[in-house]
């Protein structure tokens, strides 16, 4: 089968969507399919900057949400235009990674399966791109509804999104949880000293790794808020953040206020191939996601990668994280925004490394059995075949 993975967002970029696309491509190719990728990055730069991004920023300053709607429409138009290229004429199926890509591909005449990674309207509200209950929020919600309905099949990455789509539109999706490349993300903690030396991190540090985009819904401020009691008991504890986002300056300010700035490292954007090494050099991984403006974490790829890498995981009990982690068995779950509970969990695993090792071992077993990209690709293939059987 010739499959096109389509996205109105940049590829590759630092984030879960690009990771999903890369890993799905690998899994599908292992089953003999021919897979290509088309994204916003394939649009000429001048179009991206002068038509989609520039006017969007100005329009949003004039009226919140106007620019967000503008860029979504332009991106879909660009994808539809690119799909007219003769090199795509033999594509059997397009797996759209967002509803605007679904719109573009359907209008271009392709059979479309849409993977839904989140809630586009609520995520726009959460990050401040559109105002809640505005005419623009209603327009984006309509984009979502149209995208679900025009797709031959819909895949969701957790049960909450599946239920949301069913409630909103009556469309019944197929839930396939996120997954990772279990051959790339595997336990390599025996190379901890090598990787710490490579990235100039001390062997004496007790490293909490937070592989999160620095945005509100990812709860990245909470490890800092929870950190003073941890440092008081374990002076060598260190927070290492991998990611960029609008919360960075607030996080730096709070670390200064709490007197822990010298124990906080912000790496900025990290290439995905280096993430494997950062997991291996870490003592514990934190995924402190919170509920924000109707948005909850889906099946977190960061959490899956941590568990696959054989590192103990502490996560907040929201969204898909509750589906991934069984508290006390293969990780620890804490209440979202609960600073004291997060501090206690961090101290607990530093004080009891044997418990961390037990959780990490169980986590790796769960990932290989339930979240392998090979198993996921087989499930995707079955949905593709079902879609192609429709006329």
Specify the number of domains making up the chain.
2
Residue 195 sits in the same domain as residue 322: yes
Q: List Cβ neighbours of 15 (8 Å cut-off, separation of 6 or more).
A: 213
Counting beta carbons within 10 angstroms of the beta carbon of residue 50, is it exposed (0 to 12), middle (13 to 18) or buried (19 or more)? exposed
Token pair of 210, please? 């937070």
User: Is the residue at 258 inside a domain?
Assistant: yes
User: Is the residue at 169 inside a domain?
Assistant: yes
Whole-number pLDDT of residue 127 = 81
CB 272 within 8 A of CB 294: no
Residue 147 sits in the same domain as residue 253: no
Sign of torsion over alpha carbons 229, 234, 236, 237: negative
Q: How far apart are CA 34 and CA 341, in angstroms?
A: 48
User: Is the residue at 184 inside a domain?
Assistant: no
CA 23 to chain centre: 13
Residue 212 sits in the same domain as residue 321: yes
Q: How far apart are CA 221 and CA 223, in angstroms?
A: 6
Counting beta carbons within 10 angstroms of the beta carbon of residue 61, is it exposed (0 to 12), middle (13 to 18) or buried (19 or more)? exposed
Residue 114 sits in the same domain as residue 127: yes
Which is nearest to 83 in space by CA: 111, 112, 114, 105?
105
Residue 149 sits in the same domain as residue 175: yes
Q: How far apart are CA 259 and CA 109, in angstroms?
A: 58
Residue 105 sits in the same domain as residue 196: no
Residue 154 sits in the same domain as residue 279: no
Residue 376 sits in the same domain as residue 354: no
User: Is the residue at 277 inside a domain?
Assistant: yes
Whole-number pLDDT of residue 293 = 64
Q: Assign residue 267 the CATH number of its domain.
A: 3.40.50.2000
Sign of torsion over alpha carbons 195, 199, 203, 204: negative
Q: Work out the number of other CB atoms within 10 angstroms of the CB of residue 281.
A: 24
Q: How far apart are CA 169 and CA 161, in angstroms?
A: 12
Residue 174 sits in the same domain as residue 243: no
Residue 156 sits in the same domain as residue 208: no
Dihedral pair phi/psi, residue 314, rounded to 5°: -115, 125
* Domain span including residue 53: 2-179+372-388
In eight-state DSSP terms, residue 312 is -
Residue 33 sits in the same domain as residue 141: yes
Output the CA angle 175-12-153, nearest 5 degrees.
25
CB 43 within 8 A of CB 78: yes
Token pair of 252, please? 């730096």
Residue 72 sits in the same domain as residue 106: yes
pLDDT tens for each residue of the chain, 391 residues long = 999 999 999 998 867 889 899 999 999 999 999 999 999 999 999 999 999 999 999 999 999 999 999 999 999 999 999 999 999 999 999 999 999 999 999 999 999 999 999 899 988 888 889 999 999 999 999 999 999 999 999 999 888 899 999 999 999 999 998 899 998 899 998 999 999 999 999 999 999 999 998 988 899 999 999 999 999 999 999 999 999 999 999 999 999 999 999 999 999 999 888 999 999 999 999 999 998 766 666 678 899 999 999 999 999 999 889 889 999 999 999 999 999 999 999 999 999 999 999 999 999 999 999 999 999 999 999 999 999 999 7
User: Is the residue at 207 inside a domain?
Assistant: yes
In eight-state DSSP terms, residue 124 is H
CB 331 within 8 A of CB 359: yes
């Amino acid at each position: 089968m010739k499959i096109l993975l389509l996205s109105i967002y940049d590829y590759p970029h630092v984030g879960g969507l690009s990771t999903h696309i890369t890993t799905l491509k690998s899994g599908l190719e292992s089953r003999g399919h021919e897979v290509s990728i088309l994204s916003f990055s394939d649009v000429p730069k001048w179009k991206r900057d002068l038509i989609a991004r520039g006017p969007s920023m100005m329009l949003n300053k004039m009226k919140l949400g106007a620019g967000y709607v503008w860029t979504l429409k332009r991106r879909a138009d660009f994808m539809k235009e690119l799909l007219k290229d003769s090199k795509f004429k033999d594509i059997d199926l397009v797996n759209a990674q967002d509803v605007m890509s679904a719109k573009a591909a359907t209008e271009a005449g392709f059979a479309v399966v849409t993977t839904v990674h989140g809630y586009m309207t609520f995520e726009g509200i959460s990050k401040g791109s559109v105002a809640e209950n505005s005419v623009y929020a209603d327009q984006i919600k309509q984009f979502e509804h149209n995208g679900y309905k025009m797709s031959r099949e819909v895949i969701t990455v957790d049960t909450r999104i599946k239920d949301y789509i069913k409630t909103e539109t009556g469309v019944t999706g197929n839930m396939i949880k996120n997954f990772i490349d279990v051959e790339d993300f595997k336990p390599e903690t025996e190379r901890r000293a090598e990787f710490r030396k490579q990235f100039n991190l001390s062997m004496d540090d007790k490293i909490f790794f937070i592989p999160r985009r620095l945005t509100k819904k990812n709860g990245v401020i909470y490890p800092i808020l929870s950190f003073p009691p941890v440092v008081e008991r374990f002076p060598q504890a260190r927070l290492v953040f991998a990611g960029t986002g609008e919360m960075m300056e607030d996080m730096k300010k709070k670390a200064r206020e709490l007197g822990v700035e010298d124990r906080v490292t912000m790496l900025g954007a990290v290439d995905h191939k280096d993430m494997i090494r950062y997991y291996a050099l870490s003592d514990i991984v934190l995924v402190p996601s919170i509920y924000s403006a109707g948005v909850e974490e889906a099946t977190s790829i960061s959490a899956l990668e941590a568990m696959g890498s054989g590192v103990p995981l502490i996560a907040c009990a929201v969204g898909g994280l509750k589906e991934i982690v069984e508290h006390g068995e293969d990780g620890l779950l804490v209440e979202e925004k609960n600073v004291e509970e997060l501090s206690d969990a961090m101290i607990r695993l530093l004080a009891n490394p044997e418990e961390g090792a037990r959780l990490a071992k169980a986590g790796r077993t769960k990932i290989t059995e339930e979240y392998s990209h090979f198993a996921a690709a087989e499930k995707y293939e079955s949905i593709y075949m079902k879609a192609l059987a429709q006329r």
